């Protein structure tokens, strides 16, 4: 091992974000096997580029951006696999029917809206950060996020019982 410190730092960084990187890839690919391939290729690229990384603060967004680009690359070079019909279930689900309905609604979101929502919810990124990662304007990201939540709310939310709006 030539650079044990470097390898440890890489392992620690990956350990911090691995779960969310995998989930991000999973929802982009909508297929477990493709997601595993995307994450594998992304982290292989990340390790190769690791010595050149200058800003430690940017590691998280850098890793998510690599996963996004790797997904685009794999999607453009290989036919999209069928979406998993049976999504792996979380360990405990108080309302499985609701979760299934929500998963279906999430899958039906337009890709750009879904991507922005994934980065916000899974990655915890701000609109400005998401804009930088996706090469879009901040306004466009805000629109995508709003549309995503509107669509989910329309399908799942309490539309019948919408609280009143006061223009004060």
Partner 1 sequence: MNCLDLRRAAMLDPRRLDTEALAHVERCDACRDFLAQALELEAQIEHALRTPVPHGLEARVVRNALESPRFTRRHALAAGLALATAAGVALLWKRNDPLALAGIDFVVFEEAQAIADAKPADVKVLARVVREMGVSLPAQLGEIRYVGTCPFDGLTAHHVLVKTPLGKVTLLLIPSRPLASRAVASAHGFEAAVVPAAVGSVAIIASTPRSIARAETLLKSG
- Cα(57)–Cα(79) distance, integer angstroms: 35
| 8 A C-beta contact, residue 124 and residue 110 | no
Residue 119 interacts with partner 1 (CB under 8 A): yes or no? no
State the alpha helices, DSSP H only, in 30-137.
32-49, 59-77, 96-108, 111-121, 127-134
Residue 30 interacts with partner 1 (CB under 8 A): yes or no? no
The interface mask with partner 1, positions 40-69, x = CB under 8 A, is x--xx-xxx-------------------xx
* Residue 144 burial by Cβ neighbours in a 10 Å radius (0-12, 13-18, 19+): buried
Cβ closest to partner 1, residue 56 vs residue 101: 101
Residue 82 CB, nearest approach to partner 1 (Å) = 16
- Cα(112)–Cα(110) distance, integer angstroms: 6
Residue 166 interacts with partner 1 (CB under 8 A): yes or no? yes
* Orientation of helix 59-77 relative to helix 32-49, angle to 10°: 130
* Binding residue (CB under 8 A) for partner 1 from 58, 83, 150, 154: 150
Half-sphere exposure of 39 (CA within 13 A, CB side): 21
By the criterion CB under 8 A, which residues form the site for partner 1? 7, 10-11, 14-15, 18-19, 22-23, 26-27, 32, 36, 39-40, 43-44, 46-48, 68-69, 72-73, 76-77, 79, 87-91, 93, 95, 98-99, 102-103, 106, 117-118, 120-122, 126-127, 135-136, 140, 142, 145-146, 149-150, 152-153, 156-158, 162-168
């Amino acid at each position: 091992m030539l650079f044990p410190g470097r390898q440890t730092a890489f392992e620690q960084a990956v350990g911090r974000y691995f779960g969310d990187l995998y989930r991000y890839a999973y929802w982009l690919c909508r297929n477990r096997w493709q997601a595993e391939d995307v994450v594998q290729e992304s982290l292989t690229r990340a390790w190769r580029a690791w010595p050149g990384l200058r800003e430690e603060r940017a590691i998280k967004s850098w890793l998510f951006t690599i996963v996004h680009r790797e997904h685009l690359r794999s999607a453009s070079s290989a036919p999209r696999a069928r979406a998993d019909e049976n999504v792996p279930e979380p360990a405990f689900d108080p309302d499985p029917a609701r979760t299934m309905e929500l998963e279906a609604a999430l899958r039906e979101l337009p890709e750009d809206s879904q991507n922005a929502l994934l980065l916000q919810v899974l990655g915890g990124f701000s609109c400005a950060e998401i804009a930088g990662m996706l090469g879009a304007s901040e306004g466009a990201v805000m629109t995508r996020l709003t549309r995503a939540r509107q669509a989910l709310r329309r399908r799942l939310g309490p539309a019948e019982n919408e609280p009143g709006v006061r223009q004060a």
